[in-house]
Amino acid sequence: MASDTSKRSSYFLITPMALIFAVFLVIPLLTIVVVSFWDYDEYRILPDFILENYSYLLSSSVTWSIYLNTLKYAALTWFFTLVIGFTVAYFLAFHVRSLTWQIVFFMLCTIPFWTSNIIRMISWIPFLGRNGLLNSALINLGIVDQPLEFLLFSDFAVVLADVHLYALFMVVPIFNSMMRIDRSLVEAARDAGASGFETLKSVIVPLSKPGIAIGSIFVITVVMGDFITVRLMSGGQSASVGLQISNEIGLLQYPAAAASAVVLLITVLLIVTALLRLVDIRKEL
Amino acid sequence: MALMTKTRERRPRSFYFLAAFFALFVLFLYGPMLTIFILSFQGENGGLTFPMNGFSFHWFGNLFEQQAVGDFGGSFGRSLKLGLIVMVVTVVVSFMAGLAFRKRFRGDSVVFYLALASLIVPSILISLGIGLLFNIVQWQPQWFTSALGAHLTWTFPFGLLIMFAVFNRFDPSFEEAARDLGASNWQTIQHVVLPMVGPSLIGVAMFSFTLSYDEFARTLMTAGALNTLPLEIYGMTTNVTTPVLYALGTVTTGFSFLVIALALGTVAVMRHRKGQKA
C-alpha cells in the first residue's frame, strides 16, 4: 500500500519533465524522420514517401567533403581541448592544495561559459583580424612583413574558437574524476618509486578515463552539430554538416534538411555509443 | 596557509610549469573579452580594431537608438523574460524529477536516457524538428511557446544531472527524523529537503537562465517573428561593421556577470545563514 502511493508520487513528480521531452524532443525528432521522406517545391513541403532526399544527399561528393571537414574540426578541437583540459584539471586537482583556491580557480575557468557564445566568437576579431593585435605585434617585431591572412576567417579561426568555447567541457568532467582519485594511491605509487610521470601515466590517466570520455562526448557532439562558429569564424569559406542543414533551412528545403539531420544524428549517436563503452555515466554523478 | 604549505613541502618543478600553463589558459579565456571591452569605448571615428581613436560612450548611446542597430531593447526584454520563465520551470521541474528519481519506478531509465539524448542531439535538430512540427500542425512559432520548449530541452538535462549529484550525496536520515516527529510529506520537503538542497537549486537557476539567455541554435527556427537577443546579435554580426557590436558585447557580458554574481552571492548568504543556525 505504502509503496503504491510512493510509486504514484514518483509518476506524478516525473510527469512534467517526461511531457516536455515527449513534446519538444521525441515528437520533433520523429517529425524530422518523417519529413525526410517528403517531397517539396519552392513554396511548400508535400507529404509523400520518396527516397530522393537521401539518395541525393549520399551520392553527392559535396556531402562527403563536408562530413570530412566537420570530422576534421571535431578531431582537432577534441585533441586540443583534451590536452588543455587534462593539463588544467591536473593542475587544479593535484597542485592547488587549498580547497578555497581550487574553488576560486575553478570558478575562474567556468565563468566565461555562462556568457554569450556569439560574443565570445566576435571577441576574436580585434585580435586576429588583418589589422588586429596579433598581426600588428608580429609586424612590429619584424617576424612577418605582411599581415597573416589565415588568422581570421579560416579553418584555424574555427578550431581556435571551438577550443576557446568548449575547453571547459573537458576541464569539468576530468577535474571531477580526478578529485575522486584516492590520494593514497598516488602516494603509494610514489613510495613504490614511481616518478611523477610514471604516476601520471599508470595511476592518474587510467582513473581519469570516465571524465575524459564524458568530456569527449560533449566536445565532439557539440562540434559535429555546430554551424554558427563555422559560419562566423570561417567567414563563409568553409562548410560543416550543421551549416549545410541551416543553409537548407534558409532555402526552405525542409525535407532535404531533414534528411541531412537524420544522417547527422546517426553519425553522432554512433560516435557517442562508441565512447559510452568506456564509461557508465550514471555511476559518475 | 600558503606560507605553511611552502614550509611543509617544496613545490616540484612541474608545479611552476603547470601554473604558467594555467595562467595562459585564463588569459586565453579572458583576453579576447577584455579587448572588446576596451574597444567598446572607441572614439566616434574609431574602427573595429586598435588603435583607440579617443575615448567615448558614443557606441553605447548608439545601441539604444532603435533604427541604428535593430531592436536591441525589445529583443533584450524578450530574452530576459524567456530566461526567467525557463529558469522557474527548470528549477521546479528538475527538483520534482530529482525527488522522483530517488526511488526506482517503471520507465525511469527511459526518462534518464531522454535527458542524455537531449544533451547530445545537435541543437539545430531540435530547432528544425520543432519548427517543422509547428509548421505541419500550423501553429505559429512564438518565443514563449516553441522557443520555450526548445530551451527547456537544453536546460532540463543540466537540471536533472545536478539534482542527481545532489541527491546521491543526500542523507535520508534527516527526512526520517522529520517524519518520526510527525511532519507531513510536504512539511518534510519544505522544512528539511528544500533548505538542504537550496544552494544547488540556485545553481540550477543560474545555469538555466544563462543557457537560455545565450541560446542561439535552438531559437533559430522556434522564435517566430520576434527576435531574441542572440538572434539579434547574430544578425548584427553580418551587417554591422562599427564598434557598436562591441558595445553590445560589453553590455550583454556585463549583464551575464551580474547574474552570476547574484547567484554566487545568494549561495554565499544561504551558506552563511545555515552556518549561523547550526
User: Where in chain B are the domains?
Assistant: 75-277
Interchain pair B121, A105: CB under 8 A: no
Number of domains in chain A: 1
Mutate which of A4, A14, A127 to disrupt the B interface (most B C-beta within 10 Å)?
A: A14
Q: Find chain A residues with C-beta within 8 A of B87's C-beta.
A: none
Residue of B nearest to A221 (CA): B120
The answer to whether residue A2 sits within a structural domain is no
Residue A31: closest CA among B141, B132, B134: B132
The answer to whether residue A23 sits within a structural domain is no
CATH number listed for the domain at residues B75-277 = 1.10.3720.10
DSSP helix/strand/coil, A207? helix
Confidence of residue A98 (pLDDT cuts 50, 70, 90): confident
Residue A10 amino acid letter: S
Higher pLDDT, B268 or A75: A75
Give me the DSSP letters along A38-105: -EE-SS-EE----SHHHHHHHH-HHHHHHHHHHHHHHHHHHHHHHHHHHHHHHIIIII--SHHHHHHH
Nearest to B18 among A95, A242, A249 (CB): A95
The answer to whether residue A242 sits within a structural domain is yes
Average pLDDT rounded to a whole number, residues A125-129: 84
Residue A124: closest CA among A233, A237, A243: A233
Mutate which of B14, B63, B119, B128 to disrupt the A interface (most A C-beta within 10 Å)?
A: B128
The answer to whether residue A69 sits within a structural domain is yes
Alpha carbon distance B206, A13 (integer Å): 22
B residues 196..225 contacting A (CB < 8 A): 206-207, 210, 213-214, 216-217, 220-221
Look-up of cell digits 511548400: A44
A249 lies in which domain range?
Answer: 61-284
A residues 20..59 contacting B (CB < 8 A): 20-21, 23-29, 31-32, 35, 45
The answer to whether residue A18 sits within a structural domain is no
Residue A3 pLDDT: 55
Nearest to B237 among A108, A118, A120 (CB): A118
Q: Find chain A residues with C-beta within 8 A of B142's C-beta.
A: none
Q: Find chain A residues with C-beta within 8 A of B101's C-beta.
A: 14
Residue B66 pLDDT: 57
Instruction: Find the DSSP H helices in A192-251.
Output: 196-199, 205-207, 209-224, 228-233, 241-250
Alpha carbon distance A63, A68 (integer Å): 9
- Residue-wise pLDDT for B193-217, tens only, equals 888 888 889 989 998 999 999 899 8
User: Residue A252: which CATH number?
Assistant: 1.10.3720.10
Give A211's contacts (C-beta < 8 A, 6+ positions apart). Answer: A89, A173, A174, A175, A176, A177, A178, A284
- Residue-wise pLDDT for A142-176, tens only, equals 888 888 877 888 899 999 999 999 999 999 999 98
B residues 95..154 contacting A (CB < 8 A): 96-97, 99-101, 103, 105, 107-108, 111-112, 114-118, 120-126, 128-133, 135-136, 149-150, 152-153
Higher pLDDT, A237 or B46: A237
Interchain pair B122, A268: CB under 8 A: yes
Length of chain B: 278
The answer to whether residue A52 sits within a structural domain is no
- Per-residue exposure over B140-163, b if at least 16 CB sit within 10 Å of its own CB, e if not: ebebeebbbbbbbbbbbbbbbbbb
The answer to whether residue A3 sits within a structural domain is no
The average confidence (pLDDT) of chain A is 88
Confidence of residue A4 (pLDDT cuts 50, 70, 90): low
